[in-house]
A and B are shown apart, each in its own frame.
Chain A
Amino acid sequence: MPGNALQRYTPQLVGAAALLGFVGFWEAAAAYKLADPMFISSPSRIATVAAEMWEDPDFWRDVKVSSTEFIWGYLAAIAVGIPLGLVIGWYKRAQYALGPFIDVLNAVPRVTFMPIMVLWFGIGIWSKFAVVFLGAVIPIILSTYSGVRTNEARYLRVAKSFGASQMKTFTSIILPGTAPYIFTGLKYASGRALLGVVVGELYAATAGVGHMIAQAGNAFETDRVFFGVLLFTFTGLVVTSILARMEKRFDRWRPEGAVR
């Protein structure tokens, strides 16, 4: 029934219409010189630049550098953050010892460390790797931790009263129940990791999409800047929607009635 389908997709349709309207208005504003295209660029100019850059090997080098920083920093944060979160969630004393450090790191935007990162790791990929890692690892630790704690409170007494061993309790109750929390953390962390890439490359880099944006900005190449920003938007949307989907899949493991 077409009427029903229309109703079902109203949000998407209205949203798409709004987006199209925005793009059209932008193009018109540039075409009729409501604002100087040198400042606001325009969708068609951005598309032209995108087509040009597609052919440019320098652009692909930038993409490669940025994705390397993102992927490795993010993976390292997962590899460190999940075990660490499990440990401080499971062992009270580990949380007492490490808690203050995590709190402090959580309070400070990790990008603040950029000047020191350059001094320690140089201007290449490694300083960005470090900033991406630091940005992403904290939300992963925190959400893994809170996942363990929530589960522990709920099920531990039951498990204990049935005489389950610590190992058994951990693997059969805590781990699966923690999974949805971990994915929530991963989603937050991906945003932080992307932020690290951008700031790190704006601050000091020899290559990367953020570096390209900074250079283009200095030379007033608005089209290129917009293209770079949109590239980040696109990446962010893709990464978060993949993670949101995974989060949803694991969500049925989430203990009922708990957070979200």
Chain B
Amino acid sequence: MSGRSIADICRDNERLIIGASAFAAFLVLWEGFSRGWWATLFTPLLGEGARALAIKPIFISSPTGVAQQAWTMFAVTGEIWPHIAQSGGQLIVGLGAAILIGVPLGLAAGRYRTFSYILDPFLSALNATPQVAFLPLFVMWIGTGFWMRVLIIFLLAVIPITMNALAAVRTVDPRLLKVASSFGASELHTFRTIIAPSALPFILSGMRLAVGRSMIGIVVAELYGSATGIGIMINMAGSSFDTDKVFVGVLVIVIAGLLMSEALRAIERRYDGWRPAIGDNY
């Protein structure tokens, strides 16, 4: 109990305190719009105009409404679990395929120049296209079921993975490669002992980008069709004016996205050392 005043504690945890209070203020503000607190509060000041500060829950839901709905869907009826299982399955298969294909493809293109010349125009064209525009085509080709959604997730995820794997090989210290080849190391051996270890952090950050992309895939691929899935749940809830449910779905995606990218970031940190981060984050 000695030496540390409350002011010290506040200063040390400034980040947490400011962040948490901003978030709390946001929640109160939101709840207040939905419950008409602000309308009541400002009526003496603004008169009739204050009515605009009361917004029906059908438009914005409310934190308590979302919490209640989440509780119902997770704990009471359990209706959300099949949706999560379905979307999760699609994510695992799509992302898994993207890693299995993207990493070798990228590594090969990074190692063999001519192959990269061939791959490059296709890769940059695909990268520049908003890949979700392929959705109507995929629907025509394989319908609206599981595999169409896997395909969209795959397509969105495979590009950052391939590009990062390609860039990764290019960053390998050429002196090491020279030494290896002068000692007559086999190609496979060189890959395993020199290229793979130094490429790993790059590949991991490509995977982190891919995770973000595949979350887009989950939502967009489920625009069509019915059955189960988080995207479909959001879409159907929107159509039946269940704004609470829409937000529960959004929340599930936020949490899943944060968890996965944090997990990957933790793995990356283990392998990181010198390499600066690539991509769109702090």
Contact = CB atoms under 8 A, between A and B. Distances in A.
A109 B235 contact: no
Interface in B207-248: 212, 215-216, 219-220, 223, 231, 234-235, 237-239, 241, 243, 246
Nearest to A18: B118
Contacts of A198: 130, 132-133
B273 to A, nearest CB: 15
B132 A97 contact: no
A228 B133 contact: yes
B242 to A, nearest CB: 10
Given A119-B59, A202-B135, A259 B220 contact: no
Interface string B86-118: 000000000000000000000000000010111
Given A14-B117, A18-B121, A99-B19, A115 B239 contact: yes
A121 to B, nearest CB: 11
Interface in A90-109: 93, 96-101, 103-104, 106-109
A194 B130 contact: yes
Interface in B109-158: 114, 116-122, 124-130, 132-137, 139-141
Interface in A22-40: 22, 39
Contact of A15 (B23, B121, B219, B235): B121
B224 to A, nearest CB: 9
B185 interface: no
Interface in A195-222: 195, 197-199, 202-203, 210, 213-214, 216-218, 220, 222
A107 B257 contact: yes
Given A112-B249, A202-B223, A236-B130, A106 B281 contact: yes
A57 interface: no
Contacts of A104: 254, 258
A146 B282 contact: yes
B215 A109 contact: yes
A18 B117 contact: yes
B128 A188 contact: no
B117 A15 contact: yes
B250 interface: yes
Nearest to A197: B130
A10 B116 CA distance: 11
Given A14-B117, A191-B130, A217 B223 contact: no
A16 interface: yes
B219 A119 contact: no
Interface string B55-78: 000110000000000000000000
Nearest to B253: A108
Nearest to B241: A119
A159 B120 CA distance: 44
Contacts of B216: 109, 111, 195
A97 B18 CA distance: 5
Given A96-B19, A213-B136, A233-B128, A142 B276 contact: no
Contact of A145 (B219, B278, B282): B282
Contacts of B19: 96-97, 99-100
A203 B253 CA distance: 19
Nearest to A119: B59
A107 B133 contact: no
The 4 tightest CB contacts between A and B, nearest first, are A115-B238, A217-B136, A236-B128, A14-B117
29 contacts: A10-B117, A15-B121, A19-B122, A39-B141, A101-B26, A103-B258, A107-B253, A108-B215, A111-B220, A112-B253, A115-B239, A115-B246, A119-B58, A119-B243, A146-B281, A195-B130, A195-B132, A199-B130, A202-B132, A202-B135, A217-B135, A217-B137, A222-B140, A226-B137, A228-B133, A232-B129, A239-B128, A240-B127, A259-B278
Interface of B: 14-15, 18-19, 21-23, 26, 58-59, 114, 116-122, 124-130, 132-137, 139-141, 212, 215-216, 219-220, 223, 231, 234-235, 237-239, 241, 243, 246, 249-250, 253-254, 257-258, 261, 276-278, 280-282
Given A233-B128, A259-B277, 16 more contacts: A11-B116, A16-B121, A18-B119, A97-B21, A108-B250, A112-B219, A115-B235, A115-B246, A119-B238, A138-B280, A213-B136, A217-B135, A217-B139, A222-B140, A236-B127, A259-B276
